[in-house]
Amino acid sequence: MEIRNALYGDVILSDVEASILDTYEMQRLRHVAQLGFVNFVYPCANHTRFEHSIGTRWMAQNIVRLSGIPISRKDERLLYLAALLHDAAQPAYVHITERLRDMGMPVHEDVVKYILDGTYKERVLEIKGDIETPFVSDVLKKDERDSIHEILTGKRAYLSDLIDSYIDADSLDYLRRDSFYTGLPYGNYDDRIFSSFKIINIDNEDRIGFNNSSDTINSILSILNARFTLRKAVYLHHTSLIADEMYITALKYALSDNTINEFDIFLSGDLELLLAMRGSYRAKPLVERLLHRRLFKRVFVLDDTTPTRIRNTIERMERDDIELNETRRRISEESAIAEENILIGLPAPIAWKDYNNILLASDKGDYVELGTAIHSEIRLLEEKYRSLWGFGVYCGSSEYDDLTKLSNICDAHFGFTSKIKPKKPHIEVNAMKEALNDAISALSEKNHASSRVLFMLSDKRKYVSRNELADELQIKPSTVSYYLSLIEKVMNDKSCRDVLHTKRVGRTKYWLVDEKYRALIHEREDDFPGL
């Protein structure tokens, strides 16, 4: 069977591999996105676990053929079948759903066993009734299924390493595929890696390593750096993190009220699961928002520069759901914003693999670990991974005042100022810009010279009195007072009351243009030459 692949051209599969693709388990992967909600940021990132599975199968063949590693025909056949099936046991919204392991969710290794021993088929038929689609347990013989299970659960040494290790067929495909579909150049690692795989015998066990050469080390570094850059730019983009938090919260609601059960997550595709979750009263609002991309907004964000005492507080919340829920309740109470409109985004897993342990072997058979060969580079890479630490509080309200209020409450609660502050919606900004333009035009019509006072006032980044303006303009203070009164009246008439701030110190009145409007005022200054 020939399958046209967008990245590699034609991929040729054996008859049994083609039969595997037609099973229920593999066809379900057509409906499981590779990157979850990342398409909210990169709209073309709609590729699925199905095509990634075929790509992993192709990468496994590429490694075997180009490296020339000694492998029997039987093991090669089993390796390719395992590569095709390596994601068959993944749940809908894979990486997000995995966060529920602590709640007793089945893990990937459990479901792999169910797929290969026929338990998965029994559950599907029990829940969905008779279906004509074959299952993996129908296509493969028992001895084949047992061998594939050993490969996928790490019990077949170097065969397992070729699919799940520090650098493997899985990662070599998803780095290139994720880069391609997000339109980013980060997945263009050095292809010389394919000819660099070696089998190394350690304590009478064959494991996968790489040629110990400068070319190979450079290839390895290109892959490790690609993985880090994609994680930073794609996997941890704040928009997809917010969507992830909305989804995981809705999923917990749907599980807790038995709208769905834990096995539904492994039987369904992404959309099918979302629609099922909509049956939960508490989950429905979040699901509807996800379906229409009406996401929560960031109101409080911390990064790796956050002081240790604050990070320790957040780490306690990670370990203790009671403290996490209490924090959410308290900031809800203090801000008067409903709890269901507040989500707390805990730091994502570091996702660092100890790349120090990658093995490099010479032609003589002796080997050294990568961390020994290039200690500084690997240590720097680990530090970069740790720098991706982040924490957020998100709000479901669309009201700017609510967002600002919650942001300020979080500043006070955590004892540290957020790295970002809420921005007014574009619609409100455009409306204010239009109103301000009308006000400046009206002001010019009433008294052209008063516009000069407004432009001068907008240059100041502090409160100034009429006497200071009068001295600078070399006109009478009483004239400045008239201009300021006129500016204030016109701004109020045009619904631009927030533009000017005033205060009194003793008997002296001071004036200030709000920082948010300075740039908008300066845009009009060129329309008044000679002032």
pLDDT band, residue 253 (cuts 50/70/90) = very high
Q: pLDDT digit string (tens) for 301-327?
A: 999 999 999 999 999 998 898 999 999
pLDDT band, residue 500 (cuts 50/70/90) = confident
Q: pLDDT digit string (tens) for 361-391?
A: 988 878 999 999 999 999 999 999 999 999 9
pLDDT band, residue 427 (cuts 50/70/90) = low
Mean pLDDT of 117-143: 92
- What's the rounded Cα separation, in Å, for the pair 13 and 58? 9
- H or E element, residue 505: strand 500-505
Average pLDDT, the chain: 91
Helices 477-493 and 466-473 pack at an angle, to 10 degrees, of: 110
Q: Among 92-101, 167-176, 267-276, which is the least confidently predicted range?
A: 92-101
Q: pLDDT digit string (tens) for 51-82?
A: 999 999 999 999 999 999 999 999 999 999 99
> What pLDDT shows up at residue 426?
58
Residue 461 makes CB contacts below 8 A (sequence gap 6+) with 515
> What pLDDT shows up at residue 101?
72
pLDDT band, residue 429 (cuts 50/70/90) = low
Residue pair 39/25 in contact (Cβ under 8 Å)? The answer is no
Q: pLDDT digit string (tens) for 178-225?
A: 999 999 988 889 999 999 999 998 888 999 999 999 999 999 999 999
> What pLDDT shows up at residue 140?
96
pLDDT band, residue 129 (cuts 50/70/90) = confident
* Residue 10, Ramachandran bin (φ over 0: left; ψ between -120 and 50: alpha; else beta): beta
- H or E element, residue 225: helix 214-230
> What pLDDT shows up at residue 213?
94
> What pLDDT shows up at residue 428?
60
Residue pair 55/8 in contact (Cβ under 8 Å)? The answer is yes
Q: Which domains does the chain have, with CATH numbers?
A: 2-237 (1.10.3210.10), 296-347+389-423 (3.30.70), 427-527 (1.10.10.10)
- What's the rounded Cα separation, in Å, for the pair 252 and 280? 10
Give the closest residue to 156 by CA, choosing from 96, 49, 76: 76
pLDDT band, residue 345 (cuts 50/70/90) = very high
Q: How many CB atoms lie within 10 A of CB 449?
A: 15
b/e map of 44-63 (b: 16 or more CB within 10 Å)? ebebbbbbbbbbbbbbbbbb
Q: pLDDT digit string (tens) for 29-40?
A: 999 999 999 999
